[in-house]
Amino acid sequence: MTGRALVTGADGFVGGYLCPHLEEMGWQVVPAVMHPSEDSEGALCANLRSAAEVRELVAQAGPLTHVFHLAAVSFAPEAGANPLTAFETNLSGTVHLAEATIEHAPSARFVFISSGAVYGLPQFLPITEEHPLNPGDAYAISKAAADQYCRYLFNTRQLDTIRLRPFNHSGPGQSDQFVLSSFARQIAAIEAGDQEPVVCVGNVHTARDFTHVRDIVRAYELAAREGEPGAAYNICSGHAWSIRDALNQLLSQSRVEVRIETDETRTRATDVLEIVGSHARFSSRTQWTPTIPFDQLLNELLRAWRRRYRTGT
């Protein structure tokens, strides 16, 4: 059964995949953005940091069966540089939206997009939902606090919440602030003659759990329909991919010779050697498994950046 869903962050990277996927699956989608633009024409708009604006947003959305809350400060270094903004957006914004949902759409399911970052430094691998929450930076702390607030609302005020904890994910259209997209963009820029033949990298001696964004949004839609009320679910591939190997795969497709240089500004004090999650709980509930191979993800990223440099769009 599908429904009518409000999607915050509809103009973001994942929102740009989720909204059409929901429509394809038969949902009626009400997109919402934080900052209106030409690309967001027809979407509702509200500043998540304003309780009044968020109440008006949910009221304007009309009868809702679901709320997908994606909007956030999602880049950890940005959150670290501006922690107050991150907390006001990621935590206070979630509180405002949840309270407005209780007021205007009390029977709606509230699908909160948390993060695998809430677990912090792994105490065991793969990370399951039983792993303690131990967030290690401002972004993760803001997400963990909002995650636990949603749990509190389910337990005390009967808001039908589902908390999803996606691990790293990527795909065409992702900002080059993120590692795989950064590598692909730099290679495409070098090939186009817009950058010196140097790929700048951070710490490549780590491994992360990457999932294609199309598999991620498929999981979000399934969770909305089939997830257990009040549950938290990891959304991940269940495999750790070496950052160095990912870089080498992309470099093997480069049409020009490049060299690698380490940029200390791209490293993080909280980097850990390996992070990999388990999606067993979610898969047991919904039969979801990721289907898009990692090498296809890398190929699509590089093709997308090449197209942008070729067409200028």
- The pLDDT value recorded for residue 270 is 59
- Terminal alpha carbon distance of the chain: 37
Cβ proximity of 68 and 18 under 8 Å = yes
Q: Enter the pTM of the model.
A: 0.96
| Token reading at 186 | 């730099």
Report the pLDDT value the prediction gives residue 24, as an integer from 0 to 100: 98
Residue 271: band (very low, low, confident or very high) from pLDDT cuts 50, 70, 90: confident
**Domain boundaries along the sequence of the chain:** 4-170+212-235, 179-208+239-273+292-311
Q: Do residues 97 and 48 lie in contact, with contact meaning Cβ atoms separated by under 8 Å?
A: yes
Which CATH fold topology does 4-170+212-235 show?
A: Rossmann fold (3.40.50)
Q: Is domain 179-208+239-273+292-311 in CATH 3.80.10.10, yes or no?
A: no
Mean pLDDT of 276-294: 98
pLDDT per position as a tens digit, 47-100 = 999 999 999 999 999 999 999 999 999 999 999 999 999 999 999 999 999 999
pLDDT digits (tens, 9 = 90+) for 239-266: 999 999 999 999 999 999 999 999 877 7
Give the pLDDT score at 41: 76
Q: How confident is the model at residue 268 (pLDDT cuts 50, 70, 90)?
A: low
Tell whether the model's pLDDT for residue 277 goes beyond 70: yes
Is the preceding peptide bond at 106 cis, omega within 30 degrees of 0?
no
Q: In Å, what is the CA distance from 240 to each residue of 172, 237, 269, 286?
A: 20, 8, 20, 23
Amino acid occupying residue 83 = P
Q: What is the pLDDT of residues 135-163, one digit of tens each?
A: 999 999 999 999 999 999 999 999 999 99
Residue 208 makes CB contacts below 8 A (sequence gap 6+) with 167, 168, 179, 240, 241, 243, 274, 275, 276
Q: What percent of the chain has pLDDT over 90?
A: 93
